[in-house]
Amino acid sequence: MDSLEGTLWDVVLYGTGIRQSLLALALSRSDKKILHIDSHQWYGGAEAAFSLQEAKTWVEGIQHELEHPQFKKASLHHPERDDSQTDAPKLSYPRAYSLALAPQLIYARSDLLRLLVSSKVEKQLEFVAIGSWWVYQSALAPQGSSDDGTADGGESSRSSLLRVPSSREDVFADTTLDLNGRRKLMKFLRFIARFEDEPDTWQQHASKPFPEFLEQQFGIPVAIQSPLIALTLSLKPPSEITTEFALSKIATHLRSIGVFGRGFGAVIPKWGGLSEIAQVACRACAVGGDNGAYAAEEESQDGADSSFKIKLSSDGRVSTRWLVGDVEDLGLGSMKETSIGGGDSRSDTAIIASRSVTVVSSPLGSLFPPVAEGSPPPAGAVVFFPSGSLCTAGSEEISQNHSPVYIQVHSNDTGECPKGQSVLYTFTAELGPPGLQLLTNAMTGLLAAVEEDPTPIALWQMQYEQSSQWADADPPHTLHAVNNDRIICLPSSSPDLSFDDAIIENVRDAWKRIMGDEVDDASFMVFEDREEMAGIDEDDDDLG
Amino acid sequence: MASHGVPRVAGSGSRDTAKEQKKIQEYQSLVELVNAKISEREYTIEVLALTTKLLSKNPEYYTIWNHRRLILQHQFTEEPSTSETTEDNQLPPKQQRILDLISDDLRLLVGLLIEFPKCYWIWNYRRWLLEEAEQRLPTAVAVSFWQKELGLVSKMLARDERNFHGWSYRRTVVASLERLSEKSGARVSMVEDEFAYTTKMIYSGLKNFSAWHNRSKLIPRLLDERKADNVARRKMLDEELELIQTALTDPFNQSAWDYHAFLMGTISPNSSVETVIVRDFTNHDRVIYFEREMDRIKEMLQVDEDCKFIYLALLQYAATYLDIEGGNKYVTTREMRDWLAKLRELDTLRRGRWDDLESKLHL
């Protein structure tokens, strides 16, 4: 590849994370000359998907502080294989895996899918359905089923997974609830379908805790609230989830069901979560006739007139009118961090979570019952571990106050692992060793609750902490004033369970700044089919 | 002007009226061609293909379906070319030809049915094809056609469980299969399977009027065929009431109230469905059932006090209850007046209906 020394660009996109990649896609049909670069050998940035070998490299990178500082405390666990047992489950070759850093599920009601269609890249992607949602109930906890919360406890009970009802039909068939409990749930389902039209019921409670709202307005006691709380996908303890937030999330979930097909409402891209979308978006920019060069990086310098110079480490200096990237990656300042671990780990300005990615020795088929006749078999499931369902570190007893835990389970139909295995993606707000213990307890609980013989085991695991900046980062004043306007800082990625449409807002805002204010908002990501343009074959991906 | 200064988006996609005009002309010439050929009695396979083309664009043009019938009927009477040999266990060539024609047509039209699932003419035409099969071909062949239809209608109802064309067609298919089984000796009843099918459809879609309705038609037959005794009949009624109460946990589900009314009808004296489930009710028994159901309905008000269907049901059942046991204090006029007042409050649009109800109930 020719050296880039002295070349002039309209836009330099730094990094191939989902935001930068979607921006590349948005700009791919414009007349802008775009240089898209990444310091890694892979696409995707914080949304990358890894083979086992790539994951190992990445973990080591974090340990040596070579990676973006939003990732910390990474470790890898690979239990020794007992070769004497020939039929013991074992790991397949490294490239058989494509583990996602961003396994976010995408709701049907999200704008993302609509934009992927209108920008004509949707056909290059395959999606699989998220099917059932489950609430974990420990063997040691009271097994409540009646409305007033009284129940039998006892260690003779087994840990169980209760399916979250997402429709009238689910509530109808849910025998764990009595008639009165079901009536209340039905009433809530009816309300949530059009809750914006009934402000009297909820407006005054908007910033109050959601559990209180459920109890006061719908008579739904805490004992049967978990299925609804599960749908909020929030890592905060339930008392910190506001009513407004919860209603919006639950409404998105319920309104998404049935949009693509009966019985499900969310999808994930195959082959490693958002990384596929990032790759396809980058390719679209390359195909569009703009350069998709991938060189190593470096810092920014100031320049003159409407462009400024930046230095690429191996290819010299280039000039550009716009520079887009993550604040940390651009070397423009540091992310605001709150203190890690303990009390201050849940702040308003940053979200920090303990994460793990685990390959499990079983397809965990019981978590993926078919959603409806004629619908595709689900390949993803969500398991919620509410406060009061797990033991914490160093204790044999259930803690009532631990942070909730979520596990997203992906079957091999996602293309992320070979047949006969599955992948667990865990999330919790608890940090440090207590957080890791919580994740381990949740995983162990899940693998016991599926009641398989032999009990499935973890074949491979990586753990890490992920934090994100607040959404509206301003570039610090370390650069020349002229250039400040021309540097667009994108927020770093959050450890979310579902795709946040705010990402699209980030991209749209950046696109507008680059294209200029006269651009028509309605043209964002709306393209014509390439076949109608001269000669370019959309399937030609030899570039880049 | 609003559009001045707004940059053009690539390919704003204006309607191509020239293209549309061409399409309209093509369609009209096709119609003329088909009608001309038919009036000349050209009942050939080529013209059949022309009607296929036309009907794929417009299946609602019912005259063309009739043309198609004419063509096929003519083809059915044609002798096949004598070069075809007959094997022992095959049909005679003429019948084989009829079978092939019908089978091809059935297969060809599946796609059209999926595209236009609510077009009367397509369903009717399929029925006609199968009736022709029954007339002209051995019973075993007709049975196999009808069985495939059962598969097809199940698939259509899985796509849209509330398509009443599908449900009505299903009843025809089931009736035909039962009738044909009688013809070939041993009569087979499909009531149990169909009952199970309504259960499945209800679990997948609670607001399914057709499924509940079908169920109400099947239960009496089911009980007769099982030769159910009084105990079994009571059990069936109790289980159905349990089921419908569970469905009524969403009291805005009108189809559930319809089914509940059907069940209550089987408990009411002098109703059209009086003895279809339980046959040995004493007056005392009826009272007990009514009171229990009305208690359960009143319970619903704890959660859903703003649902008009609850008050309506209470009033209607109260009226019947008073017919059974006039002097009983279980239901008071005061209560009924309160329910009626609630109805007026919740549904102001139907004032006339509530006035009517008020006078009918002598409140």
Same domain, A182 and A159: no
Among A169, A219, A522, beta carbon nearest to B9? A522
Same domain, A329 and A478: yes
Q: Containing H/E element for B192? A: helix B191-204
Q: Decide if A173 touches B, using CB distance below 8 A.
A: yes
Strands A127-137 and A380-385: parallel
Strands A316-326 and A487-490: parallel
Q: Domain of A191: which CATH number?
A: 1.10.405.10
Q: Which residues of B touch A187 (CB under 8 A)?
A: 303-304
Q: A252 is in which domain, residue-wise?
A: 167-256
Q: How many residues are there in chain B? A: 363
**Does A179 contact B246 at a Cβ distance shorter than 8 Å?**
yes
Whether residue A454 is preceded by a cis peptide bond, meaning omega within 30 degrees of 0, is yes
Same domain, A511 and A417: no
CA distance B344 to B356: 12
Q: At what angle do helices B254-267 and B230-247 cross, to 10 degrees?
A: 160
Our measurement of the distance from residue A510's CA atom to the centroid of its chain's CA atoms, rounded to an integer in Å, reads 22
Q: Decide if A200 touches B, using CB distance below 8 A.
A: no
| A375 domain-assigned | yes
Q: pLDDT by residue (tens digit) across B49-104?
A: 999 999 999 999 999 999 999 999 999 988 776 555 556 667 888 889 999 999 99
Token pair listed for A138:
């420990």
Specify the pLDDT at position A142.
56
Hey, which residues 353-382 in chain A have their CB within 8 Å of chain B?
A: 372-374
CB B34 within 8 A of CB B51: yes
Dihedral in degrees, nearest 10, Cα atoms B339, B345, B350, B354: 30
Specify the pLDDT at position A534.
43
List C-alpha distances in Å: B80 to A191, B100, B135, B305: 66, 12, 19, 72
Specify the pLDDT at position A458.
94
Hey, which residues 193-252 in chain B have their CB within 8 Å of chain A?
A: 203-207, 245-247, 249-252
CB A431 within 8 A of CB A341: yes
Q: Decide if A527 touches B, using CB distance below 8 A.
A: yes
Same domain, A341 and A315: no
Same domain, A457 and A347: yes
Same domain, A508 and A462: no
Residue B224: CB atoms within 10 Å: 12
CA distance A58 to A126: 26
Choosing from A469, A488, A509, the residue where a domain stops is A469
Strands A8-14 and A34-37: parallel
Choosing from A225, A256, A287, the residue where a domain stops is A256
Chain B residue nearest residue A181, CA to CA: B249
CB A409 within 8 A of CB A367: yes
- The angle at the Cα of B147, spanning B141 to B148, to the nearest 5 degrees, equals 95
Specify the pLDDT at position A148.
43
The backbone torsions φ and ψ at residue A437, rounded to the nearest 5 degrees and listed phi first, read -65, -40
Choosing from A210, A225, A256, the residue where a domain stops is A256
Token pair listed for B80:
């096949």
Chain A residue nearest residue B306, CA to CA: A187
- Find where tokens 């639950």 sit: A250
Q: pLDDT by residue (tens digit) across B213-237?
A: 999 999 999 999 999 999 999 999 9
| A40 domain-assigned | yes
**Does A519 contact B7 at a Cβ distance shorter than 8 Å?**
yes
Same domain, A486 and A362: no
List C-alpha distances in Å: A401 to A232, A237, A405, A539, B26: 18, 8, 12, 52, 73
Q: Decide if B114 touches A, using CB distance below 8 A.
A: no
The backbone torsions φ and ψ at residue A391, rounded to the nearest 5 degrees and listed phi first, read -85, 150
| A107 domain-assigned | no
Specify the pLDDT at position A332.
64
| A543 domain-assigned | no
Q: Decide if B298 touches A, using CB distance below 8 A.
A: no
Question: Is ipTM beyond 0.90?
Answer: no
Hey, which residues 19-48 in chain A have their CB within 8 Å of chain B?
A: 29
Along chain A (544 residues), what's the average pLDDT of each consecutive run of 10 residues?
75 91 92 86 90 95 89 89 69 93 95 94 94 89 47 58 91 90 94 93 94 95 93 94 95 92 92 94 67 39 56 70 82 44 38 94 94 84 94 81 94 96 96 93 94 92 86 36 68 90 91 87 86 44 38
* Domain count along chain A: 3
Q: Which residues of B touch A171 (CB under 8 A)?
A: 249-250
CB A133 within 8 A of CB A166: yes
Same domain, A428 and A462: yes
Token pair listed for B363:
């409140």
Question: Could you tell me which of A272, A357, A356, A362 has the C-alpha nearest to residue A90?
Answer: A362
| A114 domain-assigned | no
**Does B303 contact A182 at a Cβ distance shorter than 8 Å?**
no
Specify the pLDDT at position B186.
81
CB A311 within 8 A of CB A323: no
Token pair listed for A344:
């201050």
Structure letter (DSSP) for residue A367: G
Specify the pLDDT at position B16.
74
Specify the pLDDT at position A392.
84
Alpha helices in B3-138 (DSSP H): 17-39, 45-57, 62-77, 93-115, 120-136
- Find where tokens 């990178």 sit: A61
Same domain, A437 and A498: no
Q: Domain of A136: which CATH number?
A: 3.30.519
Same domain, A194 and A233: yes
Same domain, A367 and A252: no
Same domain, A370 and A396: yes
Residue of A28, A119, A172, A214 best to disrupt the B interface, most CBs of B under 10 A = A172
- Find where tokens 């139907």 sit: B350
| A18 domain-assigned | yes
CB A99 within 8 A of CB A49: yes
Q: Domain of A527: which CATH number?
A: 3.50.50.60
| A479 domain-assigned | yes
| A111 domain-assigned | no
The 3-state secondary structure of A16-82 reads: CCHHHHHHHHHHCCCCCCEEEECCCCCCCHHHCEECHHHHHHHHHHHHCCCCCCCEEEEEEECCCCC
Residues of chain B below pLDDT 70 = 1-15, 81-89
Burial (CB count within 10 angstroms: exposed 0-12, middle 13-18, buried 19+), residue A415: buried
Token pair listed for A247:
């209603």
The backbone torsions φ and ψ at residue A484, rounded to the nearest 5 degrees and listed phi first, read -55, -40
Is B277 in a helix, a strand, or coil? coil
Specify the pLDDT at position B90.
76
